[in-house]
Amino acid sequence: MEKNMEKNKHKKIIVGTAISLCTLIIVYFGMAAYFKNHFYFGSEINMVNVSGKTVEEVNTKMASEIKSYKLNLKEKDGKSEQIHAEDIGLKYNSEDEFKKLKDKQGSYKWILAFFSTKDSKMTAEVSYDKKLLQEKLDNLSCTDSKNTIEPKNPSFKYSNNGYEIVNEVNGNKVNKSALYDNVVKAIVKGETTIDLQSLKCYVNPKYTTKSKETTEIKNTLNKYVASKVTYTIGDSKESIDASTINKWLTVNEDFKVAFDEEKVKEYLKKLSDTYSTIGKTRKFTASSGSTINVGGGDYGWDINTAKETQELIAAIKEGKDVKKEPVYSQKAASHGSNDIGNTYVEIDMGRQHLWFYKNGSLVVQGDVVTGNVSNGHATPEGIYSLKYKERHATLKGQGYASPVDYWMPFNGGIGIHDANWRPAFGGSIYRGDGSHGCVNSPHELARTIYENIEEGTPIVCYY
């Protein structure tokens, strides 16, 4: 009895197994027949599910999908814009690609699709009109210059407590090249949304408040405004501190601290206008005892604004208290109202007489002949400085060449020199028989002046 039961049980197992196997074979071949004309389950083209569809159905579906394609551009401040398929002439390169995918799948490998997506997914190539795409991008609101806020590096604000950092401006300026590249990638992949900010399609400021360079600039600015420069000009003093220096400082396009040299020069020009004395009218005590006003000429103090601009900037960069004199392109004997000092040549052209004083003592004096006033060669008034002195010079002009033993120019081609060809000096000779502008002197007078005078000595000429 037990043996019969075992036989029946064994028989049932065999029959069940056979039935299951037959069922599986039927299902397998039935599905194979189905997948002969249909895509495998899990099939995707450009992320569109085409499972169980025929090639014709896929052609229809994909044509519909591409016509309705829309790429959403997520922009800053919650704004968004769209690019539609029709805007750029978007289309698939060929519908044959879908059939190729189906042919590659075959009908008998359908069961493998559950374990691998190798033959179930594809990205079909699309084409678009590049010119239309560029025009679309150029006409977006986010690329319109009217809506663009330019990015700005941090700036720096000065107050009595020094410089503080002002936050950068991120702005919303689009990097058009990056935008174009990312839009093309999205279209090719069939993506429907891109985030411009996460894809770095915006132009950002090069530096932020957290940048090392920003802190360095702040420290440099505060170092410079901590400087104090005091000019000593004679008995006067002029000081420059943070209240002035901060107006000269800028941060340039290279994010470096720079000086506005024009403003520095402007300050020094005003300083020069105050303290330079070239050409200014001075009160002069003549040998006659009277006090006269003499103006003009090229003698006096003159600040070299170009060189002093560089020296002043260098001093400020030290970040310290600096006491200095300005750089002069020309100096006088002393500062103050009487910068002529007590060594000078005095020429009274009305009296046709010359005096030479050295260290307050009269060295020599004598009559002279100055420029001929009748033919417009009058010797100019003013205070000049002796340019140099020369022995055995030949003075040349239109129609003459005169050798002299002692030549001392002080005003261009005008100077003091001996004139052995003259039999007399002084009086009114200069009115009709004067020189071409020079101061003609007796030989001994010229020699004595020459032997005692130095370059830069003031020459005071007046009528």
Q: Among all residues, which ones are annotated catalytic?
A: 417, 438
How would you write the chain as a 3-class SS string? CHHHHHHHHHHHHHHHHHHHHHHHHHHHHHHHHHCCCCCCCCCEECCEECCCCCHHHHHHHHHHHHHCCEEEEECHHHCEEEEEHHHHCCEECCCHHHHHHHHHHCCCCHHHHHCCCCCCEECCCEECCHHHHHHHHHCCHHHCHHHCCCCECCEEEEECCEEEEECCECCCCECHHHHHHHHHHHHHHCCCEEECCCCCCECCCCCCCCCHHHHHHHHHHHHHHCCEEEEEECCEEEEECHHHHHHHEEECCCCCEEECHHHHHHHHHHHHHHHCCCCCCEEEECCCCCEEEECCCCCCCEECHHHHHHHHHHHHHCCCEEEECCCEEECCCCCCCCCCCCCEEEEECCCCEEEEEECCEEEEEEECECECCCCCCCCCCEEEECCCCEEEEEEEECCEEEEEEEEEEEECCEEEEECCCCCCCCCCHHHHHCECCCEEECHHHHHHHHHHCCCCCEEEEEC
